Structure 1
Amino acid sequence: MSDLTGSQNKTAKNDKYIRYFWEVSNKKIGISKKWVFYAKRGKYRKYYGNLNLIVNWSRDARNFYKNNKTSNLLNEKYWFKEGITYTKVSSIRPTFRYLPPYCVFDMGGPSICYLHNNLNYILGFLNSKISNLYLNILNPTINIQTRDIKLLPIIIDDKYKRKIEILVRENIQICKNDWDDYETSWNFKTHPLIKFKESTLQKSFDKWKEHKNNYFHTIYEISYLYHKQPI
């Protein structure tokens, strides 16, 4: 995977240049606007989520990132590219998520771009047990480095590729639906308890809880497909 990992952005003044999206008018957020979504960090989540931060992407702000000695401006070829992002520091184990093409990313949430039409296949591999095993060998700490990701061995096996990609797409959608159930999601519509109207609040909560449990029970563990491949 040595050709897959890109550069990273660094503002050096997070309190000035980074906000949660709900702190800014929706009209000012998006590509070609002042603020854009920013993959920076987040809790343990696989496949989708942790997209609630925005970064000032105005011309003046980008000039600051480019010229300030303690900042770094993300290489333009990586702006708004579909890819995979992950949290650099994790006390449990690293988890990898789909990065939509309306985001840029930070050194705390570095990303993998230019996946040559193998995004879902690689995302499944990175979230598999075998990938976690390799990463623990390469770096048995809580701080996953870019070089560790680059050293991961992966073979694109046409025998399993289509099946894996279908399962990963389903996993992304399941995790996106879960993320969108909360107000911290840009796509939040209504509280999930309203979707499960019962005679009492407790019954509604129990119905929602059952729904959530079913969600995560259906997330496919695809590690076994990678174990079958030669390394």
Structure 2
Amino acid sequence: MFTDASVAATCAGDLDSVLGFVNSSTVDHMMAALAPTLNFEVGQIRSLPWLVDHHDEESLAHTVRQLKNNSATDWNTSEVSWDFENNPLVALARGRV
């Protein structure tokens, strides 16, 4: 993990499972208690209780990858997305879906 405000992290395990953990509502509440500002420091993030359950880690990583894909698909329906092709509501109105 890097210091100061450079937002970057590395890990030896599956980064998707770590991503799922740090974006959970549980971590949101813990970070609100540890750091009431919007800027989190390395020590505060490092103090989070990350317990790796190797049996469920792949299941968590799979769910996070699916959520990332859903988010990308949703974003690509926006006209400001670089991968925008057509609005799904317009396609639905034209009977193409």
Per the normalisation by structure 1, the TM-score is 0.36
Superposition map of 1:113-132 within 5 A: 113-132=9-28
1:6 aligns with 2:35: no
Other-structure match for 2:78:
182
Other-structure match for 2:40:
145
User: Greater RCO between the two (CA within 8 Å, min separation 6)?
Assistant: 2
* Consecutive unaligned residues in structure 1, runs of 5 or more: 9-106, 200-231
Q: Deviations over 1:80-112 (max 9, x none)?
A: xxxxxxxxxxxxxxxxxxxxxxxxxxx5xx533
1:159 aligns with 2:37: no
AA at the equivalent of 2:51: I
User: For the residues of structure 1 that align with 2:27 and 2:39, how far apart are their CA atoms?
Assistant: 12
Contact 2:76/2:84, CA 8 A, preserved across alignment = yes
CA separation of 1:146/1:192 partners in 2, compared to 1, >3 Å: closer, same or farther? farther
User: For the residues of structure 1 that align with 2:87 and 2:3, how far apart are their CA atoms?
Assistant: 37
In terms of Rg, which structure is larger?
1
Percent of paired sites with the same residue: 24
User: For the residues of structure 1 that align with 2:16 and 2:85, how far apart are their CA atoms?
Assistant: 27
Per the normalisation by structure 2, the TM-score is 0.77
Of residues 64, 68, 85, the one that matches 1:172 is 68
Query: What is the CA-CA distance between 1:161 and the residue it aligns to?
Result: 0.5
CA separation of 1:192/1:134 partners in 2, compared to 1, >3 Å: closer, same or farther? same
Give the length in aligned residue pairs. Answer: 94
Greater share of helix residues, 1 or 2?
A: 2
AA at the equivalent of 1:115: C
AA at the equivalent of 1:6: F
CA separation of 1:184/1:115 partners in 2, compared to 1, >3 Å: closer, same or farther? farther
* Consecutive unaligned residues in structure 2, runs of 5 or more: none
Greater share of strand residues, 1 or 2?
A: 1
Other-structure match for 1:136:
32
CA RMSD of aligned residues (A): 2.3
Query: What is the CA-CA distance between 1:121 and the residue it aligns to?
Result: 0.5
